[in-house]
Amino acid sequence: MSKAIVRVQTGVRIEKRILKVLKGLAEQLDISLGDLLEGMTLHCFEGTPPFSQITLNKITQLKEVYDLDLTAADSHKLHEPS
């Protein structure tokens, strides 16, 4: 049974290559970028992995296509040049 929700528009800044990979993955999964982010977030809030091994393989391919070399270890060390 689906649950009624309220969605809001937001202006979030995100690293360019990460966004490209996310958009590519949403396209591969035939869902919106918002649905992908919501699903990932809900899984993370519960401490469960959001992706199957097949999807992780697609993510690896997309990271190669968009030259995304960042890892989770980089997550709190990112900065924009002045």
- Gap between the terminal Cα atoms of the chain: 49
What CA–CA distance (Å, rounded) separates 49 from 69? 21
Return the domain boundaries, the chain.
Answer: 16-68
pTM of the shown model = 0.91
| Lowest-confidence region among 26-30, 49-53, 70-74, 78-82 | 78-82
Q: What is the mean pLDDT of residues 2-16?
A: 93
